[in-house]
């Protein structure tokens, strides 16, 4: 996988350039080494085959047709062609293939970005349920959990908290169980999630924001399930990850983020101005993210979680590289 947007762009551009060269070579060879009566059929075979490998092939095919009037007016045998320019043998073929590529590439993008639920028959089966049966038996006999923990687990099921984590467990491939039977609720308060390294804090954050699907249980943000209605749940959620989540080639992060949250016009500008002032980033408004210091980069990450005034804000290790005075001010 590419480690940066520039590398991804270079890989994509290189692949498309290679496919363009391959199609051009196949086009020339088909014209040179096939009988004139069969050249049109050979070109169609080349196009329909290579177009399955890259959308750029259809673009090149359409460009070749555009500059060759005879390919549009003739049938390949020296006769006038009455077929429409939008027929499959002319511009129709490239158009159909390009539409197919749009559907093929855009649907998985939406699926990954907005987290459409995976059908139950496609989910990998594991032994999480069996594990929970063993865990519940152990708790019943040993009283492992304190009264406060049990009381919170019972309370959250009947609460209207802005954030509700309901009997959530996560079992990774290989049998490693990062979380088991986690339940808590957060409402109008600052809730600190503490623990040693590898205790499951980041896994919990990633499940709350929808990046990881729980093996068991559910998570609700403002009454919307992050498992089943991720797009709606994310409207009430702001996230500051433990890394600086900013595009290195942009200067308008807050404007874009606010637009994605549904802010426009004067309301968007007011939100951006307030956040820039609150995080002391106004003087750096025209700088690329890569030109910001580590502390200012963290402040930008915090500001990106605030447009639209979400009810639930997740902040993961925000203080890394930030001065003590700035931390207190934030």
For the chain, what are the domain ranges? 5-114, 143-235, 253-329
Cα–Cα distance for residue pair 166/221, rounded to 1 Å: 11
Quickly count: other Cβ atoms within 10 Å of residue 6's Cβ. 11
Give the CATH class of 143-235: alpha beta
Burial class (CB in 10 A: 0-12, 13-18, 19+), 112: exposed
Spatial distance between the Cα atoms of 56 and 50, rounded to a whole number of angstroms: 10
List, for residues 260-271, the tens digit of each pLDDT value: 888 888 898 898
Longest dimension (CA), the chain: 90
Segment 59-68 mean pLDDT = 85
Do the beta carbons of residue 5 and residue 249 sit within 8 Å? Answer: yes
pLDDT digits (tens, 9 = 90+) for 149-206: 778 888 888 888 899 999 888 888 777 888 888 889 998 888 888 888 888 888 888 8
CA distance 121 to 135: 26
pLDDT score at 76: 60
pLDDT at 236: 87
Residues 6 or more apart whose CB falls under 8 angstroms from that of 1 comprise: none
The C-alpha atoms of residue 107 and residue 99 are separated, in whole angstroms, by 12
CB 303 within 8 A of CB 276: yes
Separation between Cα atoms, residue 152 and residue 182, nearest integer Å:
10
């Amino acid at each position: 996988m590419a480690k940066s947007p520039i590398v991804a762009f270079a890989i994509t551009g290189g692949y498309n350039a290679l496919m363009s060269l391959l199609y051009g070579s196949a086009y020339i060879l088909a014209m040179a080494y096939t009988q004139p009566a069969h050249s049109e059929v050979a070109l169609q075979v080349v196009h329909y085959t290579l177009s399955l490998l890259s959308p750029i092939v259809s673009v090149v095919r359409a460009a070749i047709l555009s500059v060759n009037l005879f390919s549009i007016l003739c049938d390949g045998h020296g006769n006038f062609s009455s077929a429409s320019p939008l027929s499959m043998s002319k511009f129709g073929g490239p158009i159909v293939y390009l539409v197919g590529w749009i559907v093929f590439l855009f649907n998985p993008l939406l699926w990954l970005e907005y987290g459409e639920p995976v059908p139950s028959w496609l989910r990998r089966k594991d032994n999480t349920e069996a594990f929970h049966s063993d865990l519940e038996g152990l708790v019943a006999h040993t009283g492992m959990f304190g009264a406060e923990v049990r009381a919170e687990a019972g309370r959250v099921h009947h609460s209207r908290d802005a954030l509700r984590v309901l009997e959530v467990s996560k079992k990774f491939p290989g049998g490693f169980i990062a979380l088991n039977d986690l339940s808590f609720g957060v409402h109008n308060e600052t809730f600190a999630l503490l623990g040693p390294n590898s205790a499951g804090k980041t896994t919990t954050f990633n499940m709350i924001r929808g990046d990881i699907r729980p093996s068991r249980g559910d998570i609700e943000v403002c009454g919307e399930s992050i498992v089943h209605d991720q797009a709606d749940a994310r409207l009430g959620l702001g996230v500051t990850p433990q890394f600086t989540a900013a595009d290195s080639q942009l200067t308008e992060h807050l404007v874009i983020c606010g637009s994605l949250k549904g802010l426009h016009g004067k309301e968007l500008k007011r939100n951006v101005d307030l956040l820039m002032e609150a995080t002391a980033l106004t003087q750096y408004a025209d700088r690329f993210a890569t030109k910001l210091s580590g502390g200012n980069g963290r402040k930008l990450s915090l500001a990106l979680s605030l447009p639209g005034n979400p009810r639930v804000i997740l902040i993961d290790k925000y203080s890394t590289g930030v001065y003590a005075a700035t931390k207190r001010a934030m």
